[in-house]
Structure 1
Amino acid sequence: MKHIFNKGQDRTKPTLLLLHGTGGNELDLLPLAGRIDDEASVLSVRGNVLENGMPRFFQRLAEGVFDEEDLVFRTKELYEFLDEAAEKYGFDREHIIAIGYSNGANIAASLLFHYQNALKGAILHHPMVPRKGIDLPDLSGTSVFIAAGTNDPICSPMESAELESLLKKANANVELHWENRGHQLTAQEVEAAASWYRKLIIK
């Protein structure tokens, strides 16, 4: 997978896995990583799927309708890439925190839904429930921050609440943060995510 790896100053910190939204690339969320933790290593990945020339992490059948077969395949592909990248770059595979926006948040959530130890934690900006009607792995010890918009036309508040509920039932520690906004990524929610992250690291 096309990606960037930036070695951090503090190797005891988690590696931040950056996952862009539809039409983005591996450069998009680098400033975000700096806001969250400017000393951590960063692995920023570009999605392998193109939709009308726009990179994505998995195919969809329509707006808000995921191609589940491709989602499962691409989730496995990303999971295996993380194994390979950890070995190549020498970071701790068990200490990855994903930061995803929109489509990138969805693939990060899918990692949590399908693999027990895929991520140590995740910051999900405007995610949807990746799959319904499946049993999640035991996510004890996994922390998740969800940023949602009360007026999000793509991801309804009900969807955000459902994702929170499903992750909690799988024993994840979840914080759901609301902004009175739409689907856009706001400075306020990034600051809230950074505050959540700092508390997580101090524990």
Structure 2
Amino acid sequence: MHTKNIITAGKDISEAKKVLVLLHGRGGNAQDILSLADHFPLDDFSVFAPQATNNSWYPYSFLAPPAQNEPWLSSALEILRNLLEEIKSKGKASENIYFGGFSQGACLTAEFVTRNASRFGGVFLFTGGLIGDKIDTENYKGDFAGTPVFIGTGNPDAHVPVERVNKTAEIMEKLKAEVTVKVYDNKPHSISQDEIEIANKLVFK
């Protein structure tokens, strides 16, 4: 099970107008993903980066049957649920809360926001999609109410099939998110400058 360990950057939440939650990938850490914040216009933001126990949110592929990734997957979602409630308790409305992640962190971000769809400030998923060997649409509820979402991915990608990215976009759109997907031919499993620039235009507009 994950231990709560959240690294912060930017403004103190009491002074910030907005909040960004960043989720690192498998083998990465909160400090790594926080360096991404330097590439976004976050002058008025408080930034939160939870740290996964043993640097992994769940042990197997995101395409494994969810039961194989338990209890880690549920524990990771609980960390995020508690963090979201904590941020809201500081007076921050959902529309001023943003989420983003890379790889395993992007998959966890997709899963969390789509299970708890609301009008968020924006969401970016750098190479990720909804979790599970099959998509159980019963898990996804709420109304994104026009939340801008950007998903960037490579084709092929060693971990995330384009089909899953497209299915993720479709489900998010049904919950009224404004989703933009960009597929890059033969992009390495990493974050590109182009993805950062698109996220800046679409998510932090």
Task: Classify the TM-score, shorter chain.
Answer: 0.7 to 0.9
Letter in 2 for 1:171: K
Q: Tell me if 1:84 matches 2:89.
A: no
How many residues align structurally? 190
CA RMSD of aligned residues (A): 2.4
Residues 93, 74 of structure 1: alpha-carbon distance in 2 compared, 3 angstrom cutoff: farther
Q: Distance in 1 between matches of 2:194 and 2:137?
A: 33
Unaligned runs of 5+ in 1: none
Deviations 1:72-120 (A, max 9, x none): 3421332113323554xx4615221111001111111111222133944
* Partners of 2:120 and 2:144 within 8 A in 1: no
* 1:34-45 matches, cutoff 5 A: 34-39=38-43, 40-45=45-50
Q: Distance in 1 between matches of 2:92 and 2:36?
A: 21
* Partners of 2:20 and 2:99 within 8 A in 1: yes
Which residue of structure 2 lines up, in the alignment, with residue 133 of structure 1?
136
* 1:19-168 matches, cutoff 5 A: 19-39=23-43, 40-48=45-53, 50=54, 55-57=55-57, 59-62=58-61, 64-65=63-64, 67-68=66-67, 69-70=70-71, 71-87=73-89, 90=90, 92-94=92-94, 95-117=96-118, 119-131=120-132, 132-135=135-138, 136-137=140-141, 138-168=143-173
TM-score norm. by structure 2 comes to 0.81
SS at the partner of 2:203? Answer: helix
* Partners of 1:6 and 1:43 within 8 A in 2: yes
Letter in 1 for 2:164: E
Letter in 1 for 2:92: D
TM-score norm. by structure 1 comes to 0.82
Residues 6, 84 of structure 1: alpha-carbon distance in 2 compared, 3 angstrom cutoff: same
Q: Distance in 1 between matches of 2:51 and 2:114?
A: 21
Greater CA drift, 98-107 or 109-118: 109-118
Greater CA drift, 148-157 or 133-142: 133-142
Residues 108, 83 of structure 1: alpha-carbon distance in 2 compared, 3 angstrom cutoff: same
Residues 182, 8 of structure 1: alpha-carbon distance in 2 compared, 3 angstrom cutoff: same
Q: Distance in 2 between matches of 1:197 and 1:114?
A: 20
Greater CA drift, 163-172 or 59-68: 59-68
* Partners of 2:97 and 2:120 within 8 A in 1: yes
Unaligned runs of 5+ in 2: none
Cα distance, 1:36 vs structure 2: 1.3
Which residue of structure 1 lines up, in the alignment, with residue 196 of structure 2?
190
Which residue of structure 2 lines up, in the alignment, with residue 6 of structure 1?
9
* Partners of 1:179 and 1:189 within 8 A in 2: no
SS at the partner of 1:34? Answer: helix
* Partners of 1:148 and 1:177 within 8 A in 2: yes
